[in-house]
Chain A
Amino acid sequence: MDTIRGAKRNESRAAWIMVTPALLGLALTIALPFLIALVLSVTRYKLDTPLPVLFVGLEQFTRIFSDQSFLRALLNNLVFALVIVPVQTAAALALAMLLNRPLRVMPFFRTIFFLPVIFPMALVAIVWELIYAPGPNGLLNAFLSLVSFGNWQPVDFLNDPVWAMPAIMLLSLWQGVGFQMIIMLAGLQGIPRSLYEAAIIDGAGLWQQFFHITLPQMRNTIIFVALVTTILAFRLFDQVWILTQGGPNRATTTVIFETVRVVFKRQDVARGAAMSVVFFLVVLSITLIQHLYMKQHREVE
Chain B
Amino acid sequence: MGDPFGLIGRWLIDLVTGWGMEPEAALTLLRFLGAAILATVLLLACFFLIVAERKILGRFQDRYGPNRVGPWGVFQTVADFVKLIGKEIVVPDGIDKPVYWLAPLLVVMSVVGIWAVVPFAPGFRGTDLNVGVLYIVSIGAIGTLGIIMAGWSSNNKFALLGAFRAVAQLVSYEIPMVLTLLIPTMLAGSMGVTAIVEAQKDLWFIAAAPLAAAVFLISSVAENGRAPFDLMEGESEIVAGFNIEYGGLAFGMFYVGEFLHAFTVGVLFSTLFLGGWRGPGAETYPLLGLFYFFAKALVVWFVTVWVRASFPRVRIDQLLALNWKFLTPLALVIVALTAVVDKLAAEQGWSQLLALLAANAVLALGMFAVLGAYGRSVRKREDSLRGNAAALPARSAR
A joins B in a complex = no
